[in-house]
Structure 1
Amino acid sequence: MSVKLNLWTSRRMARIAILGALTGAFSFIPIPVMPGMTLDPVIPALAMTYYGAFEGYWCYVVGQLIRYITQSPSKLIVNPFDIFMGSPCAMIFCAWIIRKVRYPLNLIAGVLAAILFHAYTIFPYCVIVYGWELVSIVFPLQVLGALIVISVCFVVAFGGATYMWKARGEPIFPWRFIKPEERFSVANRTRILISTAFMILTSIIAYGICFTPYVSAEIAGPPYSPYRLWMDSWIRHPITLGIGWFFWEMYKRNGEWFKISE
């Protein structure tokens, strides 16, 4: 059976615009642990839980664009593609996890997935931006800050989604009740293989650069130097895009998930 999906519907675009604006607003609420940490993932976490990976990712992209324009426009100059990378990709990963793992274990799995994504992708960031000398201090603080943000996301995402499901008379996590005959895939095996290779390659590059002289103080300069920020944006940050792309292709193997949020 051939099923055609139109993801860019007017309804979805309206959701993304509204949720993206809210995401941008939440980016003004800082987490006083590490510079740049805010509560901007809260709304995308709710979106990916209730609607799915598509809305979760794109509303975060819109939110990041608002954040960069209003707070740190230099990031768009260093790498204009930066808005498509980072935490938005975590929304795709977590959306896939909470739908694949059985309820209620998916609650725990979603939290662990978010922690794992952050820890795995932020470690090379700490090395590149701060240098090995400060990693033992910066990395634990990054994880601590992430735990605070993820805790808030958990309450808002699962609490808010549960409220909306009940308000509409739907069961919690309605994808659990999709009949086998209604399931279908819109995934492409070639894309899955390419995204797998890209994910592995970006990981090798991001972690590999950490063990070269290019992150040393003699070459890269002090923490947060322009060279370090450029290297992080173009060499380390794509690791998040690799993970996001791979799990997006995996997510498409369950095309029925998109139908729920139409």
Structure 2
Amino acid sequence: MMTFFLSNKMAFVEIFCVLLLIIFILHLIKRPRIGVNEPPLVPYRIPIIGHTYDFLNNSKTFLKKCREKYGEPFSLYIFGGVVTFAGADSIHEVLNNTTAFSFEKGMNKMFPLSSISKQFFRNNLPPRIKQLAREISSKANINVSRMQKELLFEIEKVFGNCKEPKVFRNIHDTMAEIVAKLTINLILGEECALFEDLVPIFVELANITLGMKFVPPILSFIHSSLNGYFVSLPLRNSLDRHKNIFIQRCKPIVEERILQRKELGEKYIQKVCYCFYT
């Protein structure tokens, strides 16, 4: 009996030591690494957890204390990663410094879409956010007037002059469909916007993408890529489910535009959409 008790006790001690070793290794792996020119990291008490609890418990008060004590910008260790906070006085310096700030990486942390987009481009590189942003900004005037025109057209089409009473049971879904049509028009072009079966797909993708932002990144304590993989699973599955419809609708239009470009050469007029900037 005594031997059985001692063996169980030793087993618990061994398990406890193994757990301590695992926690220590995770701490060494996940400890924040701050570069020479990066903002200072606010000290924290609990390894691995860092500032996560304080940030989630009362973020407004906690950020105010950090700003008063350490100035801005400052860095916090949240969900297994270093997050830098900049106020109104310093945010312009951060955004203008392209070597220190990457809009593309920042967007990918909020919405991990790069790993999803790569599988749909096969051997080609997926579109870069900087390139798309450059194209959008260069045609801002054209896009604004075009989107205003399309928005007024869709509102008139859905709501009309309302001479007769109309019932909209869910205004959120109605507005989501209008925005989805505008998005299809802007990204894929006017031809694809005529296909009604693409509208609910874009509404679904938009809802899933927005929902990704509100999922707490618990798995980031282990690794950020692991959290990004599980968070993006619903979007990945949705794209896999609807990709045949995209191919069926978009392939003939893309092939026709490529043929026109080859035949007309320099006389070809580029369509105002962003699927050709990928």
TM surpasses 0.5:
no
Higher normalized contact order (CA 8 Å, seq sep 6+, divided by chain length): 1
Give the TM-score normalised by structure 1.
Answer: 0.23
Which of these two proteins has the greater Rg computed from alpha carbons? 2
Instruction: Give the structure with the larger helix fraction.
Output: 1
